[in-house]
Structure 1
Amino acid sequence: MKTAIRIAVGGIIVIGVLAYMNRPISREAVNEKIQQHLVKVVESSDSLSSALLTIYSNKTGYHEQFAVGTVNQTSDQPVQADSPYHSASVGKTMCAAIFGLLVDEGKISFDDSISAWLDADMLRGLFEIDGTDYSNLVTLRQLLSHTSGIADYFEGPVKSGEPMLELISSNPDLAFTPESLVAFTRDHQEPVGRPGQQFHYSDTGYILLGLILEAIEGKPYSDILQERIFEPLGMMDSYLMFYRDEPADIIGIYVNGVDLSSRDALSVDWAGGGVVTTMADLLMFMQALENGKLLSDETYSQMTDFQYRYDKGIYYGMGMMMFDLSELSFLLRFSGLTAMYGAVGATGTYVLYDKDNDTYFAANFGSLDFAEKAIEELVTIRMIYDRMTIE
């Protein structure tokens, strides 16, 4: 699940930079200011019920979690730091990591053709331009890096029918299978270009990747996630939504004002981001990537080769995003804020790593309206945190 992230750098950045230049403050003051800021964010937004944040730093020893608001907009139950939530496109990073594991095991190459696992019927029409079918040229690397040319069922334009976002907002009890999501692109959309010719974010591409993993491993994608990621890393509170016996119990997730947390339309995400998780689990996942517990250095370096420009100051590798904050505004060039990279979801959810300062940031806002705002708020939070005196 994705939406365009174009960071609006206006008054919030100006105020933030000025605050950043103020005198250093204590750890206790940092905690208070971050808490107050998150309360203000939730209270001032009609599209939020809660905000969750974790900051974990090996450099400063800072490890704090924040939980503000309620589990949904109709409840008085306070949200908790360990509340499970739908993590949207954060799941793409997990999907990409599994492909990295298979590369390390010698079972596949990133440059293998996807036609080795997907038959002609599945690929029909997805890569056809002016009567020429380019599906035999599409590689795993291109799907993972969004350069295959395939359309995006979640936010891409349609040539007939309703766009997907309108469809699920007006019909929140619609249920989707991976095959029906691919069929949506085949029946209602057109490719954006030939393989390898452009970067175009595509959830459809990641559905194909999930189907490929099932073909390689010979088991459901939910089991693959469990066996390859969740169990080895001890991510006991993570699972693929809709693929276990009991219903999911997650905090509110809002798309165009509709809470989909208990609705079938949330099946619109699968291998592209259908994972339910917690901040603690995501921290374990990102640390495992960085500490070499999951992937070889060579494979991880390919995932974090951020050569594709997503937007101003935002770059993409394979299943991962990098934010060069110095590019987002003129003022931020002088702020000292370092780049961050990791997993990002359209509902204001992320787990990002600041390598220069060996610090992790995980958060969830749970609203499609916060695809951009979540990163804006992260800039503000970074500016507060970076003022902390190290004792």
Structure 2
Amino acid sequence: MKIQKQKLKKIFEKTTKNNLIHESVLLIENSNGDFSYHNGYGGKKTDTPFLLASITKLFTSTCILILREQGKLSLDDKIAKYFQEDTLRDLHVYKGQEYSMDLTLSNLLFHTSGLPDVIEEGSSKAKKRVIDKDRKIGIDEIIIKTKQLKPHFAPDNGKKAHYANINFDILGKVIEIVTDSTLEDVYKQYIYDPLGLKNTYLPIDENDFVPFVYYKDTSLYRPKMVRSIRASGGCISTARDLMIFIKAFFGGRLFNKAVFRGLDINNKLQATMSPIHYGAGYMRIPLGGLATLFMGKGELLGHSGSTGSFAFYHPVSDLFFVGDVNQIANPALPVRLAMRLAMSTGS
């Protein structure tokens, strides 16, 4: 293991030499915990809180899968079951046909709805506004803005998948409706408390700490935005807590992991997110394809976040990789780091 740790250290140090990275943390463990490696850069440590961004989708997926296991919802449920018709009308109109009332929870969980993403695909100024200004945006406004954009395809259209945050924003609202509770309380009941997570939370008011995130060399503080995107990207945690969670997610501590065999569909996401595929609420990254010059083995399972966060499991080596590079200007950085780490240990 000593040689392996030297490889891991070399990869981490090479990554943190990137001029975009001002701080970073990495924690690696195997399933039973008898192998562990951690490293930090720029003062960041395993107990330093950071924004999970889209890794939050794993928490939302967990709640959906638990509620499904409890018989409180079905992935075949149409979202029209949970929303007023007026709210949904015109949300998904593709080639003149209305699909809004046909969208299912499965479409959202697997990103097969075809819905566009307001921030990534709105006007070129939309993303700039997020960077330049902190503002609250509720689910109703997100739905209204999505209606102004064109869907990419009809739901369940063959092998197509398109990553869009609105899918999980809606799932978060469904969780609240089904449980008659707030999302933060459901996370606490289904995830934080059972796993003993002490430093993981959804910020709900000004008193809750929200970490800064970097855009190139600028440190951004966006608490209103973070509190707005709870189900799709608002969770805050530490590398230590995140390791406990990702092990539980794939290890069966939160729900019956046999669900992954029953929900084994995974479709390739849009070209801008290559080589990422999407499964039942989590990313799947094949390591044996062109992106790695066919030199990798197996796949990475988990999620990354646009702010530089990552949480992946590599079954071939039985290693979990979690951490953060805290940089919003290049969302590919955490994925590349996880791929390099997995390739160095998968032989």
Q: What is the TM-score normalised by the length of structure 1?
A: 0.80
Alignment match of 1:315 (pick from 266, 277, 283): 277
Change (3 A) 1:44 1:200: closer
The corresponding residue for 2:299 is 339
Alignment match of 2:143 (pick from 164, 167, 182): 182
SS in 2 for 1:239: coil
The corresponding residue for 1:353 is 313
Change (3 A) 1:307 1:66: same
The corresponding residue for 2:241 is 281
SS in 2 for 1:223: helix
The corresponding residue for 2:252 is 292
Change (3 A) 1:330 1:228: closer
Structure 1 position 191 matched with structure 2 position 156: no
The corresponding residue for 1:104 is 69
SS in 1 for 2:115: coil
SS in 1 for 2:119: coil
* Unmatched tracts of structure 1, length 5 or more: 1-25, 70-77
Q: What is the TM-score normalised by the length of structure 2?
A: 0.89
Question: Aligned-residue CA RMSD in angstroms?
Answer: 2.4
* CA shift digits 1:245-275 (9 cap, x unpaired): 623152x312465433454333453211110
Deviation at 1:306, TM superposition (A): 4.5
Deviation at 1:129, TM superposition (A): 3.3
Deviation at 1:341, TM superposition (A): 0.6
For residues 206 and 176 of structure 1, what CA distance do their matches in structure 2 show?
15
The one-letter code of the counterpart of 2:268 is: R
* Unmatched tracts of structure 2, length 5 or more: none
Alignment match of 1:148 (pick from 113, 119, 124): 113
The one-letter code of the counterpart of 1:374 is: P
The one-letter code of the counterpart of 2:35 is: Y
The one-letter code of the counterpart of 1:307 is: N
Alignment match of 1:49 (pick from 9, 13, 22): 22
- Equivalent residues in 2 for 1:113-152, closer than 5 Å: 113-152=78-117
Deviation at 1:154, TM superposition (A): 2.4
For residues 237 and 7 of structure 2, what CA distance do their matches in structure 1 show?
27
Is 1:113–1:137's contact at 8 Å kept on the other side of the alignment? yes
- Equivalent residues in 2 for 1:15-30, closer than 5 Å: 27=2, 30=4
The corresponding residue for 2:324 is 364
Alignment match of 1:202 (pick from 164, 169, 182): 164
* CA shift digits 1:55-74 (9 cap, x unpaired): 102479320111111xxxxx
Deviation at 1:130, TM superposition (A): 4.9
Change (3 A) 1:307 1:43: closer
Deviation at 1:108, TM superposition (A): 1.3
Change (3 A) 1:93 1:58: closer
SS in 2 for 1:356: coil
* CA shift digits 1:212-250 (9 cap, x unpaired): 111111111121111121111111111113x15623152
Change (3 A) 1:318 1:60: closer
- Equivalent residues in 2 for 1:197-236, closer than 5 Å: 197=157, 198-236=160-198
Deviation at 1:380, TM superposition (A): 3.1
For residues 57 and 65 of structure 1, what CA distance do their matches in structure 2 show?
12
For residues 109 and 174 of structure 1, what CA distance do their matches in structure 2 show?
34
For residues 154 and 196 of structure 1, what CA distance do their matches in structure 2 show?
23
* CA shift digits 1:118-150 (9 cap, x unpaired): 111221321123554212211100011111122
Deviation at 1:370, TM superposition (A): 3.6
The one-letter code of the counterpart of 1:271 is: A
Bigger Cα Rg: 1
The one-letter code of the counterpart of 2:335 is: I
The one-letter code of the counterpart of 2:135 is: L
Q: Report the number of matched residues.
A: 342
Runs (4+) of structure 1 exceeding 6 A deviation are none
Structure 1 position 92 matched with structure 2 position 57: yes
Identity in percent: 23
SS in 2 for 1:108: coil
